[in-house]
Structure 1
Amino acid sequence: MRHTFQTRTGPLPVLDGLEVSVDEGGFTAVVGPSGCGKSTLTRLIAGLMIPDAGEVRVHGERITGPRSNVGMAFQNPVLLEWRTILENVLLPLEIVPTSLSKADRTARARRLLALVGLEGFEDKRPSELSGGMRQRASLCRALIHTPEVLILDEPFGALDAFTREDLWQIMHEVKRAEPFTGVLITHDLREAIFLADRVVVLSGRPARTQYVLDVPDTGPRDLDHLYTAEAAEMLNLLRHQIEIAQGRAPAEAEPSTAPTPAPPPGAAARGMH
């Protein structure tokens, strides 16, 4: 797949030779240097943009425009301050036609809010909630129309480490209760290996697929897994691939096999910048 932006100074290639596949029901994280086109990729998947060359397919069907079966959540929750949390979650169902009755829509929104720990906050305004709570509401809004594909564009990037880790665990609970195919854009490598079953590393601009890491299925995940030698080895490998993408390490060099000392629980996640 290839995509180029037209700027005042001429064409700006963003993606070139990009190949990403996401298994149905799987969860793929996309990482890479800042400015390599990760967010552009999400907009192509969502049908908000069309690639210059190549195509995006969901369940074999080519994407040619926005689709109601694709949900999106962003770093900024963008909740409407004049609406309650419940009303914010219901907003997509007011825009996209649905066969659900008003009672069924409300019941679904309340169930999603309870799933993420916001039961009892339905009638609050966004200004009355913390950043983490607003992000939970944003996640419910993205899920309200039961999307087949959920795109998460750095949804936890602006949160503190404790809140971020709490939401990682909630995401696992949400995916069990609301099955979807997930695509996560993140700068946090710990987040990638905790949430995803596959991590795709993009190269610099124009980006291509540089490396794909399959995360072993260790069963139900908890935060303790992030402090194991296996997790440290995966983190070292991903960091090395990103250093290659940034031109800071030769492609033929091998990453250190010595596990990176794990930070204490609750320590700020080390991400890419």
Structure 2
Amino acid sequence: MTMTGSRLLPQALRFLGRRKRVLLKLTGWSLLESAHTFLGGYGVAMALDRGFLAGRTGTGLAWLAVAALAVVIGGLATGGVFRGLADLVEPLRDGLVRRVVTRSLDEALAEPALAADSAVVSRLTNQTEIARDSFAGLVLVARSFVFTSVGALFGLAALSPALLVVVVPPLVTGLLLFLATLAPMAARQHDFLCADEALAAQFGSVAQGLRDVVACGAGAPMAARTHVLIEQEAKAARSLARWASARSLSLGVAGHLPVVLLLVAAPWLRRQGVTAGALLGALTYLTQALLPALHHLMSTLGAAGTRLLVVLGRLSRVPGPRLAVPSPAGTPERPAQAPAHPDVPRVELRAVTFAYGAAAQPVLRGLEVTIEPGEHLAVVGPSGIGKSTLTCLLAGLLEPDEGEVRLHGRPAHAQAGRGAAPSRLRVLIPQQAYVFTGSLYENLLYLCPDGAPRSAVEASSEAVGLGTLVHRLGGFDAQVEPAALSHGERQLIALARAHVSPAPLVILDEATCHLDPAAEARAEQAFAERPGTLIVVAHRISSARRADRILVLDGLTAACGSHQELIDRSPLYRDLVGRWHAEKN
């Protein structure tokens, strides 16, 4: 955070240096604010000493009128300040927008694969508005404090120099204490923002891959990883709260302690010739001017100032420290023992009927299929016919309305999330592959509860065709940013993860749809040669023909058989094959 501030400070000074005319205009209106502050307390003191206490009611009322006039002057000054402020902050927003657009276009031309950056919308709208509002608030509050303090201190000196002896020391001490807390406070707030962003990114990635996480029984490792991030954010929040209490202490010393000392020292001040009206005027300066100005200054610098630095750092692409996500305690990163494959399950669908709602038409009706251990089954059918619903039933994410889905003779849904770890029995890779921020090695091993030797990870990566991406990223220990990967690259990571997992049943729900035909063939061949059962929702004729059997879903009945058998007896399958050939040609 300090580095970000040091880089942005010269830019801010250059920005202000080019707008001397606006700054002079703001200074002029601010001097009127000083006059307003000065007249407010001085008028009250004179109204008491020279008016009411002296028995001159008219004179007292006249001095109160002066104090009231000061309020009018303050209102005029505030209006002028806001007009001048607009001339200062609007160019800042315009410059930030131009910078964001220019950088985004340059990046789109330099890296076309990363051109679809959804964060640009946030930078153009929300973040530039935050920068403008925060900058305006800082200028407004800092300027107000300086000129209010000048007016108040001149007023105290005019009433009696002895008042400065009581007021100035705690005021200066509190301000120095507050300034000492700014750097660590900014650093703690930056840590908290980073932790909050990391936690939000984790929740977002888990939400996107929730189907995958639940189906594969990876809830425990994902919960452990998320718990680490929650603890980091809580630690950052506690540290931030401690420094916030220090800021409250500085406000008490600078703003409230002078009032207490003024009351305690009142007898001494009276002996020094300070009148009752001067004491009341001093209290007016402290409670009506200095204390509110101090409170606004500390609150704004502590919140808006940090927010402004963070947002300007984002808009200027000043890199901040990354938040490392350590592996949960007890999770080995490079275990030495390979996981053992359990027995391959027999998959049975017994008169399965399923509908999304009591009044909805069934998506699957009376489906009867048995998939033998080690078999390779392809599932085909028109879009929306129930192929993904079938994979969810097999993975135990859905429970049939009628009939049963059984793995190893037990209901599939009963094994989802409890009992024996489902990731040891089955793994589901959906069309939108789940990849999280972390090392590539962590991504590949998260379905291996007992770990896997590095040689097995390397072999699975090569088998499914991930080797090129591993080399491009810089090895298995390279950090993975999901947004920087293409859909096909994310699918390759998910496929390698499933390949190295101990699950003997692999379900690919169009998990190769973003790969070209050659890459798809290589990945499916790797799974066909891997021990276990393979169920593939196919979207190409080549993928279906590689299977031992093909299941055709048409919404009413289902047909299952080899490619040639279905060509002979399934009109829907013949139609699908014709469409695939037409798309290929």
Q: TM-score, normalised by structure 2?
A: 0.34
The CA deviation at 1:42 is 0.4
Structure 2 residue aligned with 1:199: 550
Structure 2 residue aligned with 1:144: 500
Identity, in percent, stands at 31
**Counterpart check, 1:181 vs 2:537:** no
Write the distance in 2 (CA, Å) between the matches of 1:243 and 1:197: 18
Write the distance in 1 (CA, Å) between the matches of 2:522 and 2:501: 22
Structure with more relative contact order (C-alpha pairs < 8 Å, separation 6 or more): 1
Asked if the contact 1:33–1:242 (Cα under 8 Å) also holds between the matched residues in 2, the reply is: no
User: How many pairs are equivalent?
Assistant: 218
Correspondence 1:223-238 to 2 at 5 A: 237=568
RMSD: 3.1
Asked if the contact 1:49–1:65 (Cα under 8 Å) also holds between the matched residues in 2, the reply is: no
Write the distance in 1 (CA, Å) between the matches of 2:479 and 2:466: 10
Deviations 1:126-175 (A, max 9, x none): 4555543332211122233321110000112233xxx2332213321343
SS in 2 for 1:54: strand
Residues 109, 244 of structure 1: alpha-carbon distance in 2 compared, 3 angstrom cutoff: closer
Asked if the contact 2:354–2:363 (Cα under 8 Å) also holds between the matched residues in 1, the reply is: yes
Write the distance in 2 (CA, Å) between the matches of 1:111 and 1:242: 36
Q: Which amino acid aligns with 1:87?
A: E
Structure 2 residue aligned with 1:153: 509
The CA deviation at 1:244 is 8.0
Write the distance in 2 (CA, Å) between the matches of 1:84 and 1:156: 22
Counterpart of 2:562 (choices 214, 221, 226) is 214
Write the distance in 2 (CA, Å) between the matches of 1:49 and 1:151: 15
Q: Structure 2: state its 5+ residue gaps.
A: 1-351, 417-421
Structure 1 residue aligned with 2:361: 12
Counterpart of 1:166 (choices 519, 527, 534) is 519
Deviations 1:106-144 (A, max 9, x none): 443333213223343422524555543332211122233
Higher helix share: 2
Correspondence 1:31-70 to 2 at 5 A: 31-63=380-412, 64-66=414-416, 67-68=422-423, 69-70=425-426
The CA deviation at 1:203 is 1.5
Structure 1 residue aligned with 2:441: 86
Deviations 1:198-248 (A, max 9, x none): 0011122xx432x22225xxxxxxxxxxxxxxxxx6785587324789xxx
Residues 111, 243 of structure 1: alpha-carbon distance in 2 compared, 3 angstrom cutoff: closer
Write the distance in 2 (CA, Å) between the matches of 1:132 and 1:268: 20
Q: Structure 1: state its 5+ residue gaps.
A: 216-232, 246-258
Residues 30, 139 of structure 1: alpha-carbon distance in 2 compared, 3 angstrom cutoff: same
Counterpart of 1:110 (choices 458, 481, 492) is 458
Query: Which has more radius of gyration?
Result: 2
Write the distance in 2 (CA, Å) between the matches of 1:16 and 1:167: 31
Q: Which amino acid aligns with 2:550?
A: V
Q: Which amino acid aligns with 1:57?
A: R
Residues 171, 128 of structure 1: alpha-carbon distance in 2 compared, 3 angstrom cutoff: same
Asked if the contact 2:377–2:534 (Cα under 8 Å) also holds between the matched residues in 1, the reply is: yes
SS in 1 for 2:435: coil
SS in 2 for 1:5: coil
The CA deviation at 1:59 is 2.7
Write the distance in 2 (CA, Å) between the matches of 1:140 and 1:57: 26
Write the distance in 2 (CA, Å) between the matches of 1:190 and 1:46: 25
Write the distance in 2 (CA, Å) between the matches of 1:158 and 1:151: 17
